[in-house]
A and B are shown apart, each in its own frame.
Chain A
Amino acid sequence: MTELLVGTRKGLFVLEGEPGAPFQAVTRAFPGEPVEYATRDRRTGRLLAAVTSAVYGPKLWFAEDPAGEWQQAEGVALPEDGEVALERIWVIETGEDGTLYAGGDPGVLFESRDGGATWELNAALWEHPTRSAWRPGGGGLCLHSIVPWPGDPTRLALAISAAGVWLSGDGGRTWRSGNRGLVARYLPEEAREDTLALCVHHVERARRRPERLFLQFHGGVYRSDDGGESWTDIGAGLPSDFGFPLVLDPADPDSAYVIPLTADVDRVTPDGRVRVYETRDAGATWRPRGDGLPGRDAYMTVLRLAFDRAGEGPGLQLYFGTTSGAVFGSPDAGAGWATVAEHLPAVQSVRANA
């Protein structure tokens, strides 16, 4: 059985089912509240959820049972009496040494060393000397990608929209940008060099070749083979190189899946067809994977954290949700797709556990 944690504009839905079949909604938590993201601590199974109440602000919660009592985590806030307040928590990730990380707006990283009960702001990123030059993207100054290095807790990559990729080799004590090769086509040519106004949409690392990362940009799909120091555009062959999410097969460091949207000015699936695109040669070629997905009159949007996987290799399961409230799944690495759920509120995030 596979569990999906689906964060929506109106609550967290826990779906359960067998790959390739419709799932059942077994729990709804935080009814009426925007749930930006929910996941499980990979080591302990504890549930963590980021909820941004329109009234009461962003909060991070944890629970052992999604239908049970959720407790509010402490310390998820910016320094008191400053000029900036926390707007939103975007993502939560399990680190390699048991540290939990949470990324939020305005471009901030929190760390927890007690399983998510208490959190501390990462001071080095908060006080980074370039911070005054960081500019928000359409979704705010969101830190949305936290990418540990398998087996090495000192190495970590982050991505912020629109402040680019950030790399640490000392466990987050210092940060340097890793943006060489990223091209901000939305800026005048003369303004592109050395800019930090880089609207990265999502980053993932190849588990079995950790120096390799894939990146969906605001116009452009990129690959890095040097740990995120430099990037090569691999978007040729896609119907559009605009999109938000990106998923890798952990068994294959040459693999990536993206969901192209028409363009930044028209953020829906191209030509009224929903198709996932797959590469198995590190981006040299792409092929559509759409069997079973809506093939006509389907103008859907998939947000950056609404695409995930479980398993790997031939048993790779893929799941994504749309802002129109549908969730689709593939039990066989994208060869075939089925509707997992529909008529949900707008889907903001999907995490899969098998």
Chain B
Amino acid sequence: MPVPVVTLRGPLRKLAGGEAEHALTGATVAELLRELEREQPAVSGWILDECGHIRRHINVFVNGESGREETPVGAQDRIDVLPAISGG
């Protein structure tokens, strides 16, 4: 059965066992990211903070559209997790 795929880059990919793509189950972005933390505990705290919020300078896209914690996801959706272009 198709499930959403979360794609990680840079240090997140390294933390997640070196794998870029993670097929996960969940109905929202937050549920997918929590599932990712369960499967890849080293990612815990890097995307979501303790409150369950996506960190301020991380962008999540669902099929290329900006998403938030509550954004619904369905089978065959593609979720990209990217660091924001910010800093000095």
Contacts and interface: CB of A to CB of B under 8 A. Distances in A.
Contacts of B46: 56-57
A54 B87 contact: yes
Nearest to A81: B52
Nearest to A85: B49
Contacts of A54: 57, 86-87
Nearest to A58: B45
A77 B45 contact: yes
A338 interface: no
B15 to A, nearest CB: 9
Contacts of B47: 56
Contacts of A57: 45-46, 49, 55
Interface string A55-73: 1110100000000000010
Contacts of B58: 55-56
B50 to A, nearest CB: 5
A55 B84 contact: yes
Nearest to A87: B49
Contacts, number: 44
Interface string B25-61: 0000000000000000010011101111101011000
B56 to A, nearest CB: 8
B34 to A, nearest CB: 10
Q: Which of A54, A59, A84, A86 has the most CB of B within 10 A?
A: A54
A63 B42 CA distance: 17
A interface, size bucket: 10 to 19
A55 B50 contact: no
A82 B55 contact: no
Contact of B51 (A56, A59, A72, A81): A81
A79 interface: yes
A84 B83 CA distance: 22
B18 interface: no
A340 B57 CA distance: 35
A189 interface: no
A117 interface: no
26 contacts: A54-B86, A54-B87, A55-B55, A55-B57, A55-B58, A55-B86, A56-B11, A56-B47, A56-B55, A56-B58, A56-B83, A57-B45, A57-B46, A57-B49, A59-B45, A72-B42, A79-B50, A80-B51, A80-B52, A81-B51, A82-B50, A85-B49, A85-B50, A85-B51, A85-B53, A86-B50
Interface of A: 54-57, 59, 72, 77-86
Interface of B: 11, 42, 45-47, 49-53, 55, 57-58, 83-84, 86-87
